[in-house]
Structure 1
Amino acid sequence: MTKSGQVKLRHIVPSMVTVFAICAGMTAVRMSLDGRIETALYFILLAVFLDAADGKLARFLDTASPFGAELDTLADFFNFGIVPGMLLYNTLYIGTEFDNLGFLATLVLAVCCALRLARFNLSLRSDAVTLKQSDYFTGVPAPALACLALMPIFMHLNGWETTDLPVLRAIYIIGVGFLAVSTLPTYSIKHASISRAYLPYAIIAAMVLVVCLMVYPWATLITVNILYLGSLPLSYRAASKA
């Protein structure tokens, strides 16, 4: 802040990106209410991208602040705890005989997301609570929680709508919520490193992933979710040996 009480534009850019993420989440809710599920999912994916971008911008511009951190937490809870639950309920459960079960599952999902974010905020202020250690997070982070929880909708859009297993879906959604509040070590991409010799292959793999997301979005997201779930035992073993 300047002596005249004015704020430099670079100080509010990260918070503006966070607000855009909230707008993307709210738009996803509207699209789901209108029955435009695919568009709603695209807006959630946009919110995931903006969530990653605001923190990077704050560090790059050296404008990190307690206000920005609190706003980011509120945005994460709404975009990755509330919105996915509303999409799941509106798409798969509302108007069916299992609507109460679906609401319960999405309620647990939202509460687990809130608890994880509260624990994360506490870990930033206290050394007694550790949520992030070196190359690992403790529990599934909020953006990954949302993507995992939305797996039933990805499967539905990928042509598996004839497989109607509402009880199994609810158990899966609740299980994903428990992963977020668990103490399971999970890999952190932020702290991952790669040998220079493998850098060209990593770039090619990232390019292939982007192309697949554009051409086969739901099949690609299903594959990414399965790979992430498969990495959980590996991250637990690796963290135990570290």
Structure 2
Amino acid sequence: MNEAGPLPRAPIADAATAPRGRRFRAVPLRLLIPNIITLFALGLGLTAIRLAMEGSIEWAVSAVAGAAVLDGLDGRIARALKGTSRFGAELDSLADFVDFGVAPALVLYVADLHAAKNFGWVAALLFAMACALRLARFNVMIDEDQPAWRKTFFVGMPAPAGAIVGLLPIYLHYAFDLGPPTPGSAVLESLYVLGVALLLASRVPHFSGKSLGRVPREYVAVVLVGVAAALLLLFNFPMQALVAVTLAYLASIPFAVRRYRALNRAAQ
């Protein structure tokens, strides 16, 4: 039998002096800035829905257009700050569905498509669903290895462009004072919205605009004057300017298809 007595106990550290592990890891500010911009764009999309329900259709359209501008900025800012993350990509996709799928569909229905009754509602639903399919396919294709030349194209109409193009009936209504919608005009507008939905869900290539960002030195003055003129027109004649932008974008689609096919043949 051991007569040495009980073994000595290890000293108990004081709770006040014991080292504490950090529970939460600090997040760099460069990761937060793009997400804050995305959330602000989401707020604009939700505000567009409220404005449409209150009858302020022009302001609702402006909110959707503002969300599209912010959507174009958050990705560029994230890449510039090296703040891209998987969380930011998922948040951006969810915000895009609200901003460019749900909000435009409801604005269109409240403004014009309601005159077509059930057919107008179906067109609005299919537009939002097509936007969801477009975003889901984009998320899947992010992880796929693609040739460098394909990165200058979108497969299907991008969601922000789909929202801006889809709202064309409202631009025309306010730009040319066409009066309240009739059942016949609402049916035609519903067919147009369905056509935009098909472009969203299709695999028709569109220019991505990712190659934009560097301007040759000799064209800097021309670009600055053009941007200033575009902003002045947008502020003074917003609906007319949006009509011109929409028609110009639609006119670019055949050129994008032709360019895509040419590069695809050259790569084979």
Secondary structure of 1:191 counterpart: coil
- Of structures 1 and 2, the larger Rg is shown by 2
Residue 135 of structure 1 and its aligned partner are, at CA, apart by: 2.4
Tell me the TM-score normalised to structure 1 length: 0.91
- Kindly report the root-mean-square deviation, in angstroms, between the aligned alpha carbons of the 2 structures: 2.0
Matches within 5 A, 1:24-103: 24-94=44-114, 96=115, 98-103=116-121
Q: Kindly tell me: are residues 3 and 196 of structure 1, through their superposed partners in 2, closer, same or farther at Cα, counting changes over 3 Å?
A: farther
Q: Which of the residues 162, 166, 180 maps onto 2:200?
A: 180
Residue 232 of structure 1 and its aligned partner are, at CA, apart by: 0.9
Q: Which structure has the highest helix share of the two?
A: 1
Matches within 5 A, 1:62-211: 62-94=82-114, 96=115, 98-127=116-145, 133-162=150-179, 164=182, 165-192=185-212, 195-211=216-232
Residue 194 of structure 1 and its aligned partner are, at CA, apart by: 5.4
Q: In the alignment, is the contact (CA less than 8 A) between 1:145 and 1:180 conserved in 2? A: yes
Secondary structure of 1:186 counterpart: strand
CA distance in 2, matches of 1:187, 1:11: 28
Hey, which bits of structure 1, 4+ residues long, moved more than 6 A?
A: none
Query: What does the per-residue CA deviation read over 1:62-81, in whole Å, with 9 as the maximum and x for residues that have no partner?
Result: 12111100000000011000
CA distance in 1, matches of 2:260, 2:222: 26
Q: Which of the residues 235, 240, 259 maps onto 1:214?
A: 235
Query: What does the per-residue CA deviation read over 1:83-119, in whole Å, with 9 as the maximum and x for residues that have no partner?
Result: 000000011133x3x2211111111111111111000
Q: In the alignment, is the contact (CA less than 8 A) between 1:213 and 1:221 conserved in 2? A: yes
Structure 2: 5+ residue runs without aligned partners? 1-21, 264-268
Q: In the alignment, is the contact (CA less than 8 A) between 1:134 and 1:191 conserved in 2? A: no
Q: Which moved more, 1:144-153 or 1:12-21?
A: 12-21
Q: Which moved more, 1:146-155 or 1:133-142?
A: 133-142
Corresponding residue number in structure 1 for 2:260: 239
Q: In the alignment, is the contact (CA less than 8 A) between 1:48 and 1:143 conserved in 2? A: yes
State the number of aligned residues: 237
CA distance in 1, matches of 2:44, 2:242: 19
Query: What does the per-residue CA deviation read over 1:1-56, in whole Å, with 9 as the maximum and x for residues that have no partner?
Result: x9962223332121111111111111111111110111111111111111112112
CA distance in 2, matches of 1:15, 1:46: 16
Residue 159 of structure 1 and its aligned partner are, at CA, apart by: 2.5
CA distance in 1, matches of 2:203, 2:41: 28
1:225 and 2:243 matched = no
Tell me the TM-score normalised to structure 2 length: 0.82
Q: Kindly tell me: are residues 4 and 149 of structure 1, through their superposed partners in 2, closer, same or farther at Cα, counting changes over 3 Å?
A: closer
Q: Percent identity?
A: 36
